[in-house]
Amino acid sequence: MFDEILRKTNDLMNQGEAFALAVVVRREAPISGRTGDKAIILANGTIAGWIGGGCTQPIVIKEAQNAIKDGKARFVRVTPTSSKEHLEGILEYNMTCHSGGTIDVYIEPVLPKTHLVIFGKSPVAQTLAQLGRVLNYRVSVIAPDADKTIFPHVDSLSDSFDLHERLNSRQACVIVSTQGEEDERALQSALKIENIYLAFVASRKKAAAVFDFLRTQGVTETQLQGIKVPAGLDIKAHLPEEIAVSILAEIIQVRNSAAAMSAVEEKTEEIATDPVCGMSVEIKTAKHLSDFQGQTFYFCCAGCKQSFDQSPEKYLKRPQEPAAAVDPVCGMSVDVATAKHRSQLHGENYYFCCAGCKTRFDKQPEQYLSVTLNQKV
């Protein structure tokens, strides 16, 4: 399994695909996931590997997708005995499956490098390739007659504008810096690459003449409008090095703006709260839902939906917990709001003064429940 995870990871990185690696770092029986289990989750929710099933998998997939979107690692705990107080650094979810148990999963996003695709071997192109390496970008150069003496440290080098092989990139930043050497052919090829930024190093007058020719070749106005001319931010650049810096500054600006816009769009999506476990559920893609008394409820997994359908009133009208409870092991009064040790059995919460009492209860709950019942009688 570990070899397969490594191979899959390497393939995805070579393809420029974003993904998240999830690793089980701790578990409490009887949950199915084991310490050391691993899985790779793609942005579309596809999972390869194993980190447990039931309630665990949909929660981990959702948090992995969030990690890919925001670029931040997270520590996720799924447990039937959630803590009242906030645990710093831990995203805690209620275990709603009948199997029980607790699992802790670390999720690490792996995001592809910015892919800088440069057409041409002009001085601007050469400087862009050098600075792209400094920024730890993946750099590909496409230029006839170019060789490693001109571009010694690029990741890939092609001597033909005819792209016979697919560039492994989802969101490339493409710059055409041919500066008079087959500008039209280079732009036609550049337009075939999926990109978030496409720029042409030329004056507006020169670009207008090139665009007129491209129109005769079937290039649409929409495509032409997607080409940034002149390339780069307006910093009054004149030297090739200055122009290259202005282009990279614009790429940084575009990439950060795209990330910010993605975050805003994510926040504006319609989100519902699973009434069973409290997890956020995206309404548009929710697979599990129920209608009750004219209202639609959305669930993170089939287990939560099943629990709700069996007794919806239980989750819609949760009883208020008492301010204080009696430790069923030692009889000590425990403040419910600040209790650090608790267990759930048959749908009822029990609170303890210390970890020792909780451990004894969890091993033989019937012993202490019978005592408690006799005391109540």
Question: Domain end: 263, 286, 305, which one?
Answer: 263
Print burial letters for 236-259: b (CB count within 10 Å at least 16), e (below 16): ebeebbebbbbbbebbeeeeeeee
Query: Residue 98: what pLDDT?
Result: 61
Average pLDDT over residues 158-174: 72
Query: Residue 20: what pLDDT?
Result: 96
Query: Residue 375: what pLDDT?
Result: 43
Smallest CA-to-CA distance from 266 within 43, 69, 68 is with 69
Question: Domain end: 48, 75, 110, which one?
Answer: 110
HSE, CB side, 13 Å, CA atoms: give it for residue 57.
Answer: 16
Does 275 share its domain with 257? no
Distance set, CA 218 to CA 22, 205, 214, 297 (Å):
47, 21, 7, 50
E runs forming strands in the chain: 19-28, 38-42, 47-49, 74-79, 91-94, 102-110, 115-119, 138-142, 156-158, 172-176, 195-200, 271-273, 280-282, 288-292, 295-299, 324-326, 333-335, 341-345, 348-352
Query: Residue 346: what pLDDT?
Result: 66
CA 87/CA 320 separation, integer angstroms: 22
Q: What is the three-class DSSP state of 347?
A: coil
Query: Residue 97: what pLDDT?
Result: 65
Amino acid identity for residue 138 in this structure: R
Print burial letters for 25-37: b (CB count within 10 Å at least 16), e (below 16): eebeeebbbeeeb
Does 257 share its domain with 201? yes
Q: Which residue has the tokens 């030297």?
A: 239
Residue 320 scores a pLDDT above 60: no
At residue 188, φ and ψ (nearest 5 deg) are -60, -40
CATH number of 214's domain: 3.40.50.720
Are 55 and 78 within 8 A, CB to CB?
yes
Query: Residue 41: what pLDDT?
Result: 95
CA 118/CA 258 separation, integer angstroms: 21
Question: Domain end: 110, 145, 161, which one?
Answer: 110
Average pLDDT over residues 194-205: 93
Average pLDDT over residues 128-156: 92
Residue 92 scores a pLDDT above 60: yes
Residue 251 scores a pLDDT above 90: yes
End-to-end CA distance of the chain: give it in Å, rounded.
Answer: 56
Does 286 share its domain with 356? no
Does 38 share its domain with 126? no
Give pTM, 2 decimals: 0.59
Residue 313 or residue 188, greater confidence: 188
Residue 263 scores a pLDDT above 50: no
Does 238 share its domain with 137? yes
State what percent of residues in the chain have pLDDT above 90: 40
Q: What is the pLDDT of residues 167-181, one digit of tens each?
A: 656 668 999 999 888
Q: What is the three-class DSSP state of 68?
A: helix
Query: Residue 342: what pLDDT?
Result: 81
Q: What is the pLDDT of residues 26-39, one digit of tens each?
A: 988 888 888 999 99
Smallest CA-to-CA distance from 174 within 222, 132, 116, 121 is with 116
Which range of 75-84, 100-109, 198-207 scores highest in mean pLDDT? It is 198-207
Segments forming the whole domain that contains residue 137: 115-263
E runs forming strands in 177-317: 195-200, 271-273, 280-282, 288-292, 295-299
Residue 317 scores a pLDDT above 70: no
Does 160 share its domain with 259? yes
CA 347/CA 39 separation, integer angstroms: 32
Residue 246 scores a pLDDT above 70: yes
Print burial letters for 7-24: b (CB count within 10 Å at least 16), e (below 16): ebbeebbeebbbbbbbbb
Per-residue pLDDT band at 264 (split at 50, 70, 90): very low
Name the least confident of 8-17, 206-215, 316-325. 316-325
Query: Residue 37: what pLDDT?
Result: 93
Q: Which residues pair with 156 in a beta bridge?
A: 140
Distance set, CA 121 to CA 14, 140, 172, 176 (Å):
25, 12, 19, 10
Are 290 and 309 within 8 A, CB to CB?
yes
Does 214 share its domain with 240? yes
Per-residue pLDDT band at 322 (split at 50, 70, 90): low
Average pLDDT over residues 238-259: 90
Does 132 share its domain with 241? yes
Q: Which residue has the tokens 């057409």?
A: 119
Query: Residue 96: what pLDDT?
Result: 65
Query: Residue 371: what pLDDT?
Result: 47
Residue 355 or residue 99, greater confidence: 355
Query: Residue 210: what pLDDT?
Result: 96
Are 301 and 309 within 8 A, CB to CB?
no
Residue 64 scores a pLDDT above 50: yes
Query: Residue 29: what pLDDT?
Result: 83
Average pLDDT over residues 189-198: 90
Does 275 share its domain with 230? no
Query: Residue 347: what pLDDT?
Result: 61
Query: Residue 356: what pLDDT?
Result: 81
Q: Which residue has the tokens 């690459």?
A: 193
Does 57 share its domain with 138? no
Query: Residue 373: what pLDDT?
Result: 42
Smallest CA-to-CA distance from 119 within 212, 24, 27, 183 is with 183
- Work out how many domains the chain is built from and give that number: 4
* Mean pLDDT for all residues in the chain: 84
Residue 95 scores a pLDDT above 90: no
Does 64 share its domain with 202? no
CA 52/CA 324 separation, integer angstroms: 36
Does 169 share its domain with 38? no
CA 249/CA 270 separation, integer angstroms: 34
Residue 81 scores a pLDDT above 80: no
